[in-house]
Structure 1
Amino acid sequence: MCVFRTSCVRSYRFPHCRKACFIPRVRHIAVEPELVAPHWQLFIVMPHEVEFWQGAEDRRHHRLLYRREKAGWQRENLWP
């Protein structure tokens, strides 16, 4: 049961549930669409590049760049 129009589909503070948990929530919203605030929107982000930093105490951080190419994601190590 959803309270105060919180997200009924996904509980963001918890690990992702399996389909057995997720599908009934989606069906519940289909039956009662007023549970979702009318101004909520869905955005899909499709990045071409993603950079990750892993900090190090000596400040020589590990930086990884993932770049989308036709063959899939390519990984590069970048300078600290």
Structure 2
Amino acid sequence: MEQTDKDAVAGLVDTLVWRKSSHSNPSGNCVELTQVPGVGIAMRNSRDPHGAVLLFAPAEVAAFVRGAKDGHFDDLGLAQPGRG
């Protein structure tokens, strides 16, 4: 049986060095990322370190970061009246 990228990451989760933004809030509501050699970029919820891990190609993460820097997602992170 061939090992998938997801299986490879599952066996490494506890050994990977995870990083989160210095802008993360004190209550721990943040995501953590790490580079998985030969696989890509892994992302997880910092409050649930043994939960789901999402895998992305480096180009996907680069596109997201460019969009975030350009302000494309600014409206998603701000509480708006009537929207929680």
TM range (shorter): under 0.3
**Greater C-alpha Rg:** 1
Structure 1 or 2: larger strand share?
A: 1
Which structure has more RCO (C-alpha within 8 Å, separation ≥ 6)?
1
Structure 1 or 2: larger helix share?
A: 2
- With the length of structure 1 as denominator, give the TM-score of the two structures: 0.26
